[in-house]
Amino acid sequence: MTTIYLSLGSNIGNRKKKLEKAVAELNKNNIKEIKISSLYETEPVGPKQRNFYNIAGKFKTNLNPQELLKVLKQTEQKLGRTKTYRWGPRVIDIDILFYGKQVIKSKNLIIPHKEIINRAFVLVPMKEVASNFVHPTQHKTIKTLNNVLQKDTYIKCIEKI
C-alpha cells in the first residue's frame, strides 16, 4: 500500500458535510483514511465567491496514480460536482498532493500538485497531517514550506481535530 496525501475543499452547500461525505466515500473505495487535519475556512483563489472549507488527509491505497485519479473524479461527480469555470465554486474538490515520493508528469496528472508551495489552504492543514514529510522536488519539509509561505490570504481554523 502506498501512502498518499490529498487536499479536499468545498464552498457550495453544507461544506463540512460534503467533506465528511467525501472522506467516507474514499474509505469505501480502497483509499483508507489514516489522519485528517482540522477544518479550515479559506478565501477562494480566483473570482469572488463563498469561502471554502478545506482539509488535508493522509491515506493509504493500493490504487496506482491513474486509478486513484479516476476514483477521485468519480467521487467528486457522485457528490454533485459539475464542470464550471476555472477556479469556480465547487461542491467538492479533491486533489492529489503526493503519491508516496513519486514525481509524475503526464497529460492528465501532475504529482506533486504544482501549486502546493504557494497555497496556505494546502500547506497549513498538511502541516498538521505530515509536518516532516519531505516534498520530493522541493526537498524541504512541509513545516519548512509552510513557515516560508507568504500567508496573505485569509485562513482560519474552524474545528480542531
Active site residues: 81, 90, 93, 95
In the structure grid, which three cell numbers stand for residue 117, read together? 508551495
Name the H helices within 4-64. 15-28
Q: Which residues contact 148 (CB under 8 A, 6 or more apart)?
A: none
Q: Which residues contact 57 (CB under 8 A, 6 or more apart)?
A: 5, 6, 8, 23, 33, 34, 35, 36, 37, 129
Q: What angle do CA 31, 33, 37 make, to 5 degrees?
A: 130
User: Cα separation of 74 and 26, whole Å?
Assistant: 10
